[in-house]
Structure 1
C-alpha cells in the first residue's frame, strides 16, 4: 500500500482547510456536507458523543456561534492508499491555556472526501 501520496495528501489537506474555515466561521452547511451522511458516522467531542449524521447535524445547528476562533498547532495529514486518510491537529483558543486535540478519519466517497469519524478533546 502506498502511503502519503502527494496528490491525495493535497486533496485531504484542502478538505481539512475547508473544514477548519467552516468551523471557525460557523458555516454549518459546509460542516454538515463534509461529514459522511450516514448513521454510522461518529464524532466524540469535548462534551458530547454523537452517533449518526442526524445527531451531528442537530449538534451543529444548536452550537453557539461565538468564541469559535482558534489557532492550529502541529497538523499532520497522512494518506493510506488513494481513498483513506487521517488528519490530526492540536489547537489553542484565545485566552485559554489548555491544549486541544482533534483527529479526523477521511474517506473518499463518490461525492468527495468525507469525515467518517472525529474526536476532539482537551488536555488540562
Structure 2
C-alpha cells in the first residue's frame, strides 16, 4: 500500500477545500453531496450525534448560516492506497475566542467520487497553535 500517493493526496486536498468552501458559504447542496448518502454514514458534531445521511441532511438544512466563518490550522491529509484518506484540521472562529475546534473526516473513493463516510467535530478550550 502506498501512503500519500501524490496524485491521490492532491485529489483529496482538492475535495477537502471544496468541502471547506461549502461549509463557510453554507452551500448545503454541496455539503450533502460530499457525504455518502448511506444510513451508515456518521457525523459526530459539537452538540449532536448524527447517524445516517437523513439525520445529517436534517441538521444541515436546519442549521443557521450565521457565524460559519473560520480559520484552519494544522490541516493534515493522509491517504492510504488510492481509495481512502483521513483529513484532520484545527479551526478557530472569530465569534469564539479562546476555543479551538477539531475536525476529522474519513474520505473514501466510491464509484460516485470522493465521499465522507465518517466525521467528528469537537471544540475545546485553547488555541490552534
TM-score (norm 1): 0.99
Distance apart, 1:69 and its partner CA: 0.1
- 1:64 and 2:64 matched: yes
- Unmatched runs of 5 consecutive residues or more in structure 2: none
Q: Paired residues, what number?
A: 124
- Unmatched runs of 5 consecutive residues or more in structure 1: none
Secondary structure of the structure 2 residue equivalent to 1:121:
strand
Residue 3 of structure 2 is matched in structure 1 by 3
Residue 39 of structure 1 is matched in structure 2 by 39
Distance apart, 1:123 and its partner CA: 1.2
Secondary structure of the structure 2 residue equivalent to 1:61:
helix
- 1:100 and 2:101 matched: yes
Q: How far apart in 2 are the matches of 1:6 and 1:78?
A: 10
Distance apart, 1:115 and its partner CA: 0.1
Distance apart, 1:12 and its partner CA: 0.3
**Which of structure 1's runs of 4+ aligned residues deviate more than 2 A?**
none
Residue 113 of structure 2 is matched in structure 1 by 112
Distance apart, 1:97 and its partner CA: 1.5
Distance apart, 1:2 and its partner CA: 0.7
